[in-house]
Amino acid sequence: MKTDEYRLMYEIEKRYWWFTGKRFLVTKVLRRLAGRPGGFPVPARVLDVGCGTGGNLESLAAFGEVSGCDVAPEAVEFCRARGLSGAVLQERPEVLPFPDGVFDLATATDVLEHIDDDVGALREMARPVKPGGLLLLTVPAYPALWSVHDESVFHKRRYTRKDLSRKLAAAGLEPVLLTNWNLFLLPLIVPTRWLRDRITRPGGATSDFHLGLPGWMNAAFYLAFISEWLFLRFFPLPAGLSLVAVARKPR
């Protein structure tokens, strides 16, 4: 991503609905798996690939010892500004500096879509995970929703559920969970992106995170987003702006 996008992420990821809602739901998914058969042990060794400016590392620490890596030096510097310097390395996700089979869990939230060889990256993300360990991913859904937002944060693609399932299988991973999320806000976000794409594209690409939201709207979006857990805890959602997958490395 551009340097100014990392700076903005660092400034807003503790309050902006997308980041706070995603952390809430990722934490809920992981708590359903923590310390249970077919899940991962607690305390666990956790690797966050593409850790960005560090907000996820702080929430993942609830599950054990966390390490992170990101390709961007700006991201690593912002992590250090959060006091996370000992746990974060500047490394490419396609070539991770960890030995085989040392982590119980790896996460990569909104990372895979930035990588040319996403199947190869999945294999490399799984390599330092123990046999039987888990990998949690989130990616943007629906190629038809490609917009100026994707260009501004250097996405290579958006995914369908079939795409992601096929690529997990190609990487030798066994799906445990595959669902959409951010369904409730989809009817609002789709026309907003369409309109913004036509207004802002001539002036240059910027991400949706540059949209200033009043506090009440940010709170309403957050509540709409996290309320999906009432349904996700029982069954996958059929549609939504993002895809979430949990996959197991075969024993």
State how far the Cα of 8 lies from the Cα of 43, in Å rounded to an integer. 32
State how far the Cα of 249 lies from the Cα of 105, in Å rounded to an integer. 10
Residue 203: pLDDT over 60: no
Q: Which domain holds residue 150?
A: 3-248
Higher pLDDT, 39 or 194: 39
CATH number at residue 41: 3.40.50.150
CA-wise closest residue to 53 among 29, 20, 77? 77
- The order of strands in the sheet holding 44-49 is 88-90, 64-70, 44-49, 103-109, 129-140, 242-248, 174-181
pLDDT in tens, 20-73: 999 999 999 999 999 999 999 999 999 999 999 999 998 999 999 999 999 999
How many domains does one find in the chain? 1
> Who's near 230: CB < 8 A, 6+ residues apart?
none
φ/ψ region of 57 (left if φ > 0, alpha if ψ in -120 to 50, else beta) reads: alpha
Mean pLDDT of the chain: 91
Residue 202: pLDDT over 60: no
In angstroms, how far apart are the furthest CA atoms of the chain?
Answer: 53
DSSP characters for 19-47? HHHHHHHHHHHHHHHBTSTTSB-SSEEEE
pLDDT in tens, 221-246: 999 999 999 999 999 999 999 999 99
Q: How confident is the model at residue 191 (pLDDT cuts 50, 70, 90)?
A: confident
Beta bridge partner(s), residue 137: 108, 245
pLDDT in tens, 68-97: 999 999 989 989 888 876 688 999 999 999
User: DSSP class of residue 143?
Assistant: G
> Who's near 185: CB < 8 A, 6+ residues apart?
221, 224, 225, 241
